[in-house]
């Protein structure tokens, strides 16, 4: 099978990792890189650093990865679509939902692969979790709760924590549950003196009835990346920072200590920490991008799905401003 000629737009914090992995993915050759800001991490290694997306297109590429600030995503992606280049854009897909849908349609109408880097789909803990939920290991799922907290990354200046980090949690929750959001409400906080929010607490309901909760902020001195899925048979806890998955099963042995039984409600059972292979999520994602371009079915986030994710986040932000619940009206279309 022919090797795919790849171009990379953006050599910053994310771009440097894309460059490292694209050089090592079988069936892909990184032939061109571009960044108007140069090569701060020195990842070009002998290649000319082109000025913009037009330079990449001129290099005769088959696929492209866009890893530049959010406000530039749409223009770059649309240029690549016009040039017939299959493209993976880092999340979020665009500044706003309407623009995201326009980008998705540009790729769909041309028969091109358009994908978005919701890399948590390729976290080994979440892949294991999704498979075990599909097998019925948790029984009926009641709730999915996520916590994504860390200190403020100074490199992010054009969006708030909801669009930068919250899109991860919205996408992974819908993907794990295999459902879309039907309604959402939220509260935000602005504590760092920036125009955008640096904390958001989201409550939502999925179309399949699962309740979702997300706590996301840039105000914590600790880094936390946790997803908890609670069902009738117990609770799965996925630590996506370490790739670990643990299951806390509901107990089957009756408690004889009456006061403790009343206090605990659901009784505690066995705790199982699963062992499985752990592959770097970004590598898995880029391999899935390659495979999707080759015609295979993968778990890669489509641009249509990413536009829905962005709509959920924007609905949450509007809810926080209005002080009430909002219905998510958009639907994911192929």
Residue carrying structure tokens 């000319």:
48
pLDDT at 18 over 70: yes
Half-sphere exposure of 202 (CA within 13 A, CB side): 35
Q: Are residues 92 and 145 in the same domain?
A: no
Q: Considering the chain, what percentage of its residues have pLDDT values greater than 70?
A: 92
Task: Indicate the pTM of the whole model.
Answer: 0.91
Give the Cα-Cα-Cα angle 73, 81, 123 (nearest 5 degrees).
55
Q: Considering the chain, what percentage of its residues have pLDDT values greater than 90?
A: 85
Domain span at 24: 4-120+283-299
Taking only the tens place, the pLDDT of each residue in 68-97 is 999 999 999 999 999 999 999 999 999 999
Q: Are residues 208 and 146 in the same domain?
A: yes
Report the pLDDT value the prediction gives residue 29, as an integer from 0 to 100.
Answer: 98
pLDDT at 257 over 70: no
How many Cβ atoms are within 10 Å of 270's Cβ, its own excluded? 11
Q: Are residues 113 and 83 in the same domain?
A: yes
Q: Are residues 142 and 175 in the same domain?
A: yes
Report the pLDDT value the prediction gives residue 263, as an integer from 0 to 100.
Answer: 47
Q: How confident is the model at residue 260 (pLDDT cuts 50, 70, 90)?
A: low
Q: Are residues 290 and 319 in the same domain?
A: no
Q: Are residues 198 and 237 in the same domain?
A: yes
pLDDT at 113 over 70: yes
Taking only the tens place, the pLDDT of each residue in 21-31 is 999 999 999 99
Q: Are residues 167 and 253 in the same domain?
A: yes
Residue carrying structure tokens 């990379």:
8
- Among 189, 209, 80, 191, smallest CA distance to 141 is for 209
Q: Are residues 261 and 140 in the same domain?
A: yes
User: Is 332 inside any structural domain?
Assistant: no
User: Is 304 inside any structural domain?
Assistant: no
Q: Are residues 27 and 95 in the same domain?
A: yes
Q: Are residues 224 and 288 in the same domain?
A: no
Q: Are residues 97 and 138 in the same domain?
A: no
Report the pLDDT value the prediction gives residue 139, as an integer from 0 to 100.
Answer: 95
State the average pLDDT over residues 226-247.
97
More confident residue, 333 or 296: 296
Rg of the chain on CA atoms, in Å: 21
The CATH number linked to 191 is 3.30.360.10
The CATH number linked to 70 is 3.40.50.720
Q: Are residues 153 and 200 in the same domain?
A: yes
User: Cβ distance 100 to 300 under 8 Å?
Assistant: no
Domain count, the chain: 2
User: Is 50 inside any structural domain?
Assistant: yes
């Amino acid at each position: 099978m022919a090797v795919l000629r790849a171009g990379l737009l953006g050599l910053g914090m994310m771009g440097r990792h894309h460059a490292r992995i694209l050089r090592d993915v079988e069936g892909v050759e990184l032939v061109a890189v571009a960044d108007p800001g140069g090569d701060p991490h020195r990842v070009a290694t002998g290649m000319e650093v082109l000025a913009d997306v037009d330079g990449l297109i001129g290099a005769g590429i088959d696929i492209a990865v866009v890893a530049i600030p959010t406000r530039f995503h749409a223009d770059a992606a649309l240029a690549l679509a016009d040039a017939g280049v299959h493209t993976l854009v880092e999340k979020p897909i665009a500044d706003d939902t309407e623009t995201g849908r326009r980008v998705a349609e540009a790729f769909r109408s041309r028969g091109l692969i358009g994908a978005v880097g919701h890399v948590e789909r390729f976290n080994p803990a979440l892949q294991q979790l999704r498979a075990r939920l599909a097998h019925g290991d948790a029984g009926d799922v009641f709730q999915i709760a996520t916590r994504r907290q860390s200190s403020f990354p100074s490199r992010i200046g054009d969006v708030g924590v909801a669009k930068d980090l919250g899109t991860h949690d919205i996408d992974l929750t819908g993907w794990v549950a295999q459902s879309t959001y039907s309604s959402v409400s939220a509260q935000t906080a602005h504590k760092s003196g920036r125009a955008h929010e640096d904390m958001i607490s989201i409550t939502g309901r999925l179309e399949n009835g699962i309740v979702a909760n997300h706590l996301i902020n840039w105000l914590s001195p600790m880094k936390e990346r946790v997803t908890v899925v609670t069902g009738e048979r117990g609770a799965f806890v996925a630590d996506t920072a370490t790739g670990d998955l643990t299951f806390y099963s509901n107990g089957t042995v009756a408690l004889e200590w009456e006061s403790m039984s009343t206090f605990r409600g659901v009784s505690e059972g066995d705790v199982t920490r699963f062992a499985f292979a752990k592959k770097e999520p970004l590598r898995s994602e880029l391999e899935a991008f390659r495979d999707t371009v080759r015609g295979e079915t993968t778990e890669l986030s489509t641009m249509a799905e990413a536009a829905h994710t962005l709509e959920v986040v924007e609905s949450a932000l509007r809810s926080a401003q209005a002080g009430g619940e909002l219905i998510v009206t958009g639907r994911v279309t192929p």
